[in-house]
Structure 1
Amino acid sequence: MRPKAVSTNTPDVSEQPDKRSYAVGGERLTAPKAAPGLYLVATPIGNLGDITLRALETLAGVDLIACEDTRITRRLTERYGVTAQLKPYHEHNAAEMRPKILAQLAQGASIALVSDAGTPLISDPGFKLVREASSAGFSVIALPGPSSVLAALSVAALPTNRFFFEGFLPPKQAARRARLTELARLDATLVLFESGNRVQETLADLAAIMGARDAAICREMTKLHEEISRSTLAELAQSAATLETRGEFVLVIAPQPEGAQAMTADEVDNLLRDRLSRDSVKDAVAHAVEVSGRPRREIYARALELAKGEHGKD
């Protein structure tokens, strides 16, 4: 049922707003009190006009909005005249805040969880809260909406029938290259996040490991300076020196070509070195055999040589 209009004469939403109301196009609308539960609300990834009407009604109707950064979420709530209380919930205070939120849910509160941008839990805090809230029997309701992952996939002009979302890669090059070597074997379009200060290094590593593939760099999606670059990884890495590195990046990489060859010896060595640094020889070999396409006997012999070499350095 459409919310009841309260007033159409006051376009300035900051003037004496109702406690549970929001404004769209200069019209102030009432929002029913949200039923008890935890609401996972997707918010715009850049353009504030991408918020859904259901999201606005829910944000206006809950008792509390838990958000990563109150300053960022306040830009959205002030834009639409939402006056619900904001409380920070992020990776640094989650252990302290989670029991408090669960206690409020137990008392019948309605709480919205939002990230700084996009869909909560996707490379953002919230998994443990959702798990514990659902385990305790509280309602957990998803309000779908903006997602940089799906937005980038839709404009990359690459296959979308099967994709793998990796999120952020390891910051150190050795671990990053080892992970990319594993990802290179997947028969799916890859979606990665990267920060501006590392995007050039990551493109260089991608080109070294998957250079022949088509890819897209998506920067500042839905914002004023949105930029989409499509080419091969090798060409994108070559032009990375002139890349504008301000903002947030989503990298989309095409699947490996049909009939791709097994990993090279150097790729296997990189993979084994990374795995041996944290796993037993047995586990490292099992993983390398699974993703490399090379014989177990060969992988095992190489793992022993590498392990022996590392011990010889001690």
Structure 2
Amino acid sequence: MISDFHCKPSSNSNMTIESASVRVVDTIEKSDSDIWNYRGLELDNGMICVLISHPTIDKAAAGLNVEIGSYADPNEVPGVAHFLEHMLFMGSTKYPDENAYSKFIESNDIKPQDIEVFIRQMFAYFYVDSLMYGNLTENQSIEYMIMFQQKFHQNHLFQPIYPSMWFNHRQLMLPEGCNYAYTMLNDGHCTEAITIYLQCFQQTLENNALIDVFAQLISEPCFEQLRTKEQLGYIVSAKIFSAYGAQGLQITVQSTFGLDHVNRRIERFLDSIRDYIEQMSEEDFQKQREGQIMKNMEIPKRMTSQGNTFWFEISRHEFCFDRREI
């Protein structure tokens, strides 16, 4: 059962946030002179929380205690837990400077009112894509979705939004004949990798079938030529890359030979593809075509694989659930 629920906050509602818990403790013992308020929570996931508030303080702070440390260090890597602890404060991709995130929070003097405004903005175009898959009947799925909607609708906190307001991913269709290159250096690896993406066309049933067969035709020759014969690297692949309405062929090679050399070898292989296909016998072509059909018709061996296929269609709002059969 697949259903959608889209909502946004009402303009005249008061924001309240409730945390699902399995146990609440309001009887924490404290000193008679202690004016702080305490509440204990045991959440659904087993996490133990203590909420502490003061009647005159308007700032908030949070702390997390992870019950793991040096006692869990592998014998061959002593001190790794302490090392990781310090790495938390050394910066990240978004905040590259040391302690940058903490300084950002402190310098902006974020108040509870700022969080409330942010929550309203975050939910202004809030929607949910849902997938219910497995041991459920249609009526049960609808019942669960109604319960979910009612949770969001309580206190008139949200209201539906129009489909035109949904957030949809898009991909740029590249102009014909264009050529773009992006290079990223990584000093932590001694090998190099190159991915060549040849964007073909927008997705249609006919185009999907054509590129499926084409990828089937060249995947094995690509591996044999670049991996087995030329031994450019251990990882060599040729596959379809489809995203948000556009699709193309993607060839990836990880190698130690240098990107310029590998790029030339890939280009040479692509130049040879036309002759390879034109010289292919009708019998061999039909075998490849039938092989691709059998691959598309193969039943997933695990529920997660089938579920991922469904979710691929839902997350892109394409909803072509019989894409393989078509």
Same fold (TM over 0.5): no
Of the two structures, which has the highest relative contact order with CA contacts closer than 8 Å and spacing of 6 or more? 2
Identify the TM-score tier after normalising by the shorter chain.
under 0.3
TM-score with structure 2 length normalisation?
Answer: 0.24
